[in-house]
Amino acid sequence: MGELRTSEPMSRHTSWRTGGEAKRFFKPDSIEELAIFLAQTPIDEEIVWVGLGSNLLVRDGGIDGVVICTSGVLGKLALLESDLIRAEAGVPCAKLARFSVRFGLAGAQFLIGIPGTVGGALAMNAGAFGGETWPVVEAVETMDRHGQRYLRTPEEYKIAYRSVEGPMNEWFVAGHFRLRIAREDGLARTRALLEKRNATQPVGQASCGSVFRNPEGDYAGRLIEVCGLKGYAIGGAVVSEKHANFIINSGDASAADIESLIQYVMVRVEAEHGVKLVPEVHIVGDAQTGDLQG
């Protein structure tokens, strides 16, 4: 049933290419197998969900629980109606964007700029190029710790900028996206957005995507750049020269290096601009004693 590993290095499964081991690591073959696995998981065991591993920092002490990885397994995509797409949690956002364009639909092209999966996009209301995930969501399929499945509507969630609050102890396993029939050339727009992303972001380097949420009326990257922090490094973690809201693993960064740099950037921006940056990245796991630098 699926693939279960022990002591799995999370550096293999995060876009920052660093982090400690997961005590248990599970890749289900299907939503049905996922339900069986969850029903058999001890109620007190920590569960961490991973898609493509973007927007995630696993501390060097690892995860004393189970990581459930949806990437490459929960990947079904289907056109349910002429303008309604169902995508499972492991579908890359960019793949959903391209799929929608292929069927002449508009409203999901912005997903081409999100380096994660549908599950992650639903969990945080991910956005890019002025678009956000939940405005195009008609329904979501969720699952609880007992493997019970639910079909829920957006009205059951509190949706905000990079924030989603809903029923406790449920996780997204699929989303239903209601789009519109395109009047413009969707393929051309998707290509233009992809070119913009490649020109302005450090694509191809080990990063998590954007590290901080944009404060209201401003941009985190601008505030960090004005502080003169482009290129600033702690250990192997470096603020990108291309876009200041990205932190790069230059090759040998520990998770502690990255977390220390996140904290340092927050302190500098607050000191110089009076703005408290809020991390967008999800930090999980245990820090090893003495890891964090002051």
**Active-site positions?**
162, 210, 280
Rounded CA-CA distance 186/111 in Å is 13
Rounded CA-CA distance 270/278 in Å is 11
CA dihedral 218, 221, 225, 227 (to 10 degrees): 60
Residues with Cβ within 8 Å of 78's Cβ and at least 6 positions away in sequence, in order, are: 85, 86
Residue 34's CB: how many other CB atoms inside 10 A?
Answer: 25
Which H or E run contains 37?
Answer: helix 31-40
Rounded CA-CA distance 257/273 in Å is 24
Residue 286's CB: how many other CB atoms inside 10 A?
Answer: 14
Which H or E run contains 56?
Answer: strand 56-58
Backbone dihedral angles phi then psi of residue 111, each to the nearest 5 degrees:
-65, -15
Rounded CA-CA distance 72/207 in Å is 20
Rounded CA-CA distance 205/247 in Å is 10
Rounded CA-CA distance 123/284 in Å is 15
Supply 116's token pair: 């994660």
Q: 3-state DSSP call for residue 178?
A: strand
